[in-house]
Structure 1
C-alpha cells in the first residue's frame, strides 16, 4: 500500500531559522500548515499543497481513501545545531497530544507512524505522521476532505459528446456503496439539464473503478453506481428509455493505477452517446 503521509503541525513554539547564519533554512516557498506550528530545531526540506487523494492507514490492516486539499511537508532536524534530536516516541506523542488538544483523536498508533482525525468547522481533516532516522526526519500530510469541484457544464458535456462521443465525470459515492453524495448533486443537475435541453439525446451511463479490490466486486459496484446515476436522472424528469446502465469495473483504466492520482482518475462515470 502506498503510504500516505499526513500533516498537521504541533501546538508548539515555532522556531524559524531563515536568515540566521549557522542554521539550516526552509526551502524556498515552504511554510508550516496554518493550523499548527513545528517541532523546535526542524526545518522544511520539501513542501507541496494541492488537491489530491490517497489512502490513510486504519486499524486491522485496513485503509481509507480520502480526497481533498493535501498539504505535504517534510521536516529535517538541524543536525548542525549541535543538539540531540527528539526520539520517535517523543515526536509522535507531541503530535498526538496536539491533535487531542484541538478535539481530534488518534485513529492508529504505529511504531513509526500515526493516523489522526479531527473535525474542524464542519470539515474532516485526516492526518498521518511518519518518522525516520530515529526521529530526525518528519513526514506530514494534512488532508482537508472535500469534493473536487466539477467545473464542466451541460454545454461542455454536449460539446464533448458531439466531438468525442463520451465525457468522463467524477461523481462521488459513499465508500464502497452506490449512494451518490450530496456534494455531487450539482453534477447530476447538469446532466439532467443536458438531457432535458436535448430531447433526442440518448446516453449509456457507464461506471469505472480503480484496480483495488477484486475484479468481480468492482464490476458489481460500478454497475450499481451507474444505475444509481440513471435513477437520479429519471427522478429529475429524464425518460428512462433514453438511458442505459453499464459497469466496467477495472477493465478500462485511463491512467496509471500504480499512483494515487491515476486511481482517482480511473474512478469515474462516463456518459457515452448512443
Structure 2
C-alpha cells in the first residue's frame, strides 16, 4: 500500500510540476510575431502588436533634430515573463544598438528612455525606435520606408468632372517631403494630367490651392501651402507650356479641413492640393 501511495504521489508531483512549467511559458498575444529585424530579448513575451500599411512616425536623429518617416509601420510591445528578471532600460537599449550595428545599421540617438536606429540594406530603408518605459518591458516602433501606393489615379477626365460638378477638385498623386515645398518627381504624372485638362479647354482658368493640417504654426502653414501651390503652378508653366495668366496659386493653410485633425488619417486627408475654377 505504501508503495502504491508513493507512486501516486510521484505522479501527482510530476503532473503539478508539468502544469506549473506550462503556465510559466506564457504565450504571445494572438496573431503577433517578431519583426524580422530584431530577435526579442530573453524571457520576454509579445503582448501587443499592430501593423499599419501606410503611416508616419517622427524619429529623433540628434539633440533637437527629428525626421518624419513614412511607410509600413509596426508597433510591437514586449513584457518580461512572470518569475523572470527584468533586464532594465540600459540593457534593452544596448542590445538593440549592438544588433543593428552588427548588420551595418546606425545608432541615430539615445537618451535614458529611448534609442533611435536606422539601417539601409538590400534596397530597403528601415527606421526603429526602442522605448523602454513599459512596466518591465519595451516597445518597438518600426517604419519600413516607402512611398504610398497611389490607389486613386489622377486623370484629366476626373478633374473635368469635378470642376463641372462642384467648381473644385482634389488632385491625387501630388507629393512633397514633410514641411517642404519642392515637388517630388513622382508627382509628374498628376501634373501632366492637369496640363492635359488645360490644353483640352483653352478658355479654362483655375486657382491652384494648397492645404495643410493643423500641425505647426498658422502663419507657417499658410506660407507652406502657398509655396506648394506655387510649385505646381511653376511645373505647369515651365514643364508643360501652360500660360501663367490662366493660373493663380493660393495657400489656405489649415483653414479649410475636410476631416478632423485629431487623427493621423484626418490630418493626411487635410494635406492636399485642389484646383478651383476661376
TM-score range, shorter chain: 0.7 to 0.9
1:222 aligns with 2:225: yes
Structure 1 residue 108: Cα displacement: 1.6
- Higher relative contact order, chain-length normalized (CA < 8 Å, sep 6+): 1
| CA distance in 2: counterparts of 1:199 and 1:21, whole angstroms | 76
CA distance in 1, matches of 2:213, 2:138: 30
The structure in which a higher percent of residues are helix is 2
Residue ranges of structure 1 left out of the alignment (5+ in a row):
1-19
Q: Contact 2:89–2:113 (CA<8 Å) still a contact in 1?
A: yes
Whether 1:51 and 2:51 are equivalent positions in the alignment is: no
Q: Give the 5 Å matches for 1:173-252.
A: 173-234=176-237, 235-252=239-256
Query: Is 1:27 paired with 2:22?
Result: no
Q: What CA RMSD, in Å, does the superposition of the two structures yield over aligned residues?
A: 2.3
Mapped contact 1:131–1:139 kept (Cα < 8 A): yes
Aligned length: 252
Q: Flag the 1:144–1:220 CA change in 2: closer, same or farther, 3 A.
A: same
Q: Is the 8 A contact 1:105 1:118 kept in 2?
A: yes
C-alpha change, 1:215 and 1:40, in structure 2 (3 Å) is same
The alpha-carbon deviation at position 258 of structure 1 amounts to: 3.5
Query: In 2, are the aligned partners of 1:254 and 1:265 still within 8 Å (CA)?
Result: yes
Shift of 1:29: 1.9
Corresponding residue for 1:159? 161
Structure with larger Rg: 2
1:147/1:183 contact within 8 Å kept: no
Per the normalisation by structure 2, the TM-score is 0.81
CA distance in 2, matches of 1:72, 1:86: 21
Q: Is contact 2:154-2:189 (8 Å) kept?
A: no
How many Å apart are 1:226 and its aligned residue?
Answer: 0.4
Q: CA deviation at 1:28?
A: 2.2
Q: Which runs of 5+ in 2 are unaligned?
A: 1-20
